[in-house]
A and B are shown apart, each in its own frame.
Chain A
Amino acid sequence: MPIKRPSNPATCPDGSSAPGNVSAACPAAPAPSAADLQNNAAVKKALEDAYADSQAGDAAKRHEEGGWIYQNVKTKEITVVRASSGAQASLDLSRPPEVPGSVVVGKFHTHPNPTSEGWEPGPSPGDIRVDALHGVPDLIRADDGVHVSGPDSRRGGLAGGPGFPP
């Protein structure tokens, strides 16, 4: 008996063909790693812009800035959306806006308070807790460079909906 093959295979969200049931046949495409994101031009610019907007040089006005990093599941294009400004040592990145056709693959925020005044440049225990919960890498721009917190890439790949992974 000849093997029946679907004449018109279904298409996965990433554009690849998937015979049969799409949800069962489409593998979760891998999400970019923290290193991939750090090397992306749009992300690099967003980090530098956010750090400049943090007013690190002004002790009375310095504050955290940040946002979310998205990847389009078809085109693989990386885009960035900025969040509202935060406070001197905190920021709320818990509600990423939905970007059509894209999923959140990372976050970024700034640590504008200077190491020369005794501030810790890397992730705080609070950052580490929230980043593990959100399930995407978090790039932190401080005065000594970029620190990474959270998983190395989006938990579960590009599957799981537009916001943070389940």
Chain B
Amino acid sequence: MSRRTLLFSFLTIFSVPITESCVRWKETMSNTPNSKVAITEDQAKEIAIQDARRAYRDLSPYRIEARLEEEKWHIDFHLKDPRAQGGGPSYIIDATTGKIISKKYYQ
């Protein structure tokens, strides 16, 4: 076995686990709450509820879903009854300031 082949094997054996570790570390970090995110999920939901109450007379038919994407909270109100036509409000809220970036009142 030549020196070059030995060197290539060595690099392959040791670089793959290192690369995988880096990927895992990156995934872990992306799931960790970002330091810039100041608004919790509950706070984001409350911001959405406060606004939704101005447009919707009754929010009891809805369940609320929240997800954090790139420092923005996506808050969606879905009808609990799967047979019903219609819709609820949908928000994108800045997770660093709590400001509503966009909203849609579906019906």
Contact = CB atoms under 8 A, between A and B. Distances in A.
Interface of A: 60, 64, 66, 86-94, 109, 111-113, 117-120, 124-127, 130-131, 138
B85 interface: yes
Interface of B: 55-58, 61, 78-79, 81, 83-88, 103-107
B37 to A, nearest CB: 26
B105 A126 contact: no
Given A118-B105, A124-B106, A124-B107, A90 B55 contact: no
A117 B81 CA distance: 26
Contacts of B81: 90, 92
A86 B86 contact: yes
Contact of A126 (B55, B57, B84): B84
11 contacts: A88-B57, A89-B56, A89-B106, A91-B84, A113-B107, A118-B55, A126-B84, A126-B85, A126-B106, A130-B85, A131-B85
A91 B81 CA distance: 10
B83 A111 contact: no
Nearest to B57: A88
A90 B79 contact: yes
A128 to B, nearest CB: 10
Contacts of A66: 85
Please give me the 5 A-B residue pairs with the lowest Cβ-Cβ distance, nearest first. A124-B87, A90-B86, A124-B106, A94-B83, A89-B107
Nearest to A138: B85
A111 B105 contact: no
Given A87-B58, A89-B56, A92-B81, A127 B86 contact: yes
